[in-house]
Structure 1
Amino acid sequence: MAELSPYLSFADNCEAAFNFYKSVFGGEFLTLMRFGDVPGEYKPAENESQKVMHVALPIGKNTVLMGSDTPGTVAAPITGSNFSITIAPESKEEAKRLFEGLSAGGTVTMPLSKTFWAESFGMFTDKFGVNWMVNFQ
């Protein structure tokens, strides 16, 4: 079956966002490539050479969180509330750790708590504007 990996676009703070995600999920980047790393014929504007062209962070057994900054030649990323990244942790303790870690500095829209469908469920928007749900059955 096909696998899904979220790909996030940022205006200028992809590296800060992914360092934050790495501090919560742990692990190492599979890839961290900057626009300045591309071959000469594709060189970006000088002020964009340090922006992230592609980053990949494994966050689960078969899930990789990926992202990039948007170069000035492309329209700014669209932000909205029509999607959330949902995490299915393996334990109640992991649910709490991920919820508290990822929501730090963000806005909690539903505190992590027991619901009629889950042992622990909560929703928040992180400090980078990404919507998340944590759902432990």
Structure 2
Amino acid sequence: MAISTTTHLNFHGDARAALEFYQTVFGGHLTTVTYGDFGMPKDLPDADKIVFGQVAADNGFGVMAYDVPGRAPAAAAPATTTREHGMTLTGERFFVSVRGETAEEVGALWEKLADGADLIEEYGPSRWAPGFGMLTDRFGVTWILDVAAPYAD
């Protein structure tokens, strides 16, 4: 049996913008379907929001997203992530990890994804990988980008 996993991100009104941005970073095909496309009357407030969206690229990258219907929850203090003394400290429940084969290919993704992001740890060589970096993008999603390192047996 073969299985795969795909990160599914939940937004409150900016799923389309996030997916369009991720397509510019990773390439691939963008699919967006609105609540209105599924039959919600077009005059309702959420009709133009995304009920199903994804970016799927030939290189294996994939992410899905949708807009949670209804009002956004009351603003709570956002979870923050920092790196201190080589440790990652966070209140977040997940990160999205992207791993590539070379520092150059991952670095190119980093440059695009970092546009408008809060940098947690700048991309560059680390003790465990030829390239590693961590950021929270303009949509509040925290990403780890790294280069696959050969493991010793």
Q: TM-score, normalised by structure 2?
A: 0.77
* Counterpart-to-counterpart distance in 1, 2:117 and 2:131: 19
1:54 is matched with which residue?
A: 52
Give the Å deviation of 1:82: 2.3
* Counterpart-to-counterpart distance in 1, 2:102 and 2:19: 24
1:1-137 residue pairs with structure 2 within 5 A? 1-29=2-30, 31-39=31-39, 43=41, 46-59=44-57, 61-72=59-70, 80=79, 81-136=92-147, 137=149
CA separation of 1:44 and 1:73: change in aligned 2, threshold 3 A: farther
Q: Give a deviation string over 1:45-86, Cα, whole Å, max 9, x none.
A: 71111101111111464442000001107868x974221111
Q: Retained in 1: the 8 A contact 2:97–2:144? A: yes
Give the Å deviation of 1:91: 1.6
Runs of 4+ with >3 A deviation: 42-45, 59-63, 73-76
Q: Which has the higher strand share?
A: 2
Q: TM-score, normalised by structure 1?
A: 0.86
- RMSD across aligned positions (CA): 2.3
* Counterpart-to-counterpart distance in 1, 2:53 and 2:72: 18
1:101 corresponds to which letter in structure 2?
A: K
Q: Retained in 1: the 8 A contact 2:36–2:47? A: yes
Count of aligned positions: 133
Q: Retained in 2: the 8 A contact 1:3–1:63? A: no
Q: Retained in 1: the 8 A contact 2:124–2:130? A: yes
2:122 corresponds to which letter in structure 1?
A: P
Q: Retained in 2: the 8 A contact 1:3–1:62? A: no
Listed as ranges, the gaps of 5+ residues in structure 2 are 80-91
1:105 corresponds to which letter in structure 2?
A: G
* Counterpart-to-counterpart distance in 2, 1:16 and 1:2: 29
Listed as ranges, the gaps of 5+ residues in structure 1 are none
Q: Retained in 2: the 8 A contact 1:105–1:126? A: yes
SS in 2 for 1:22: helix
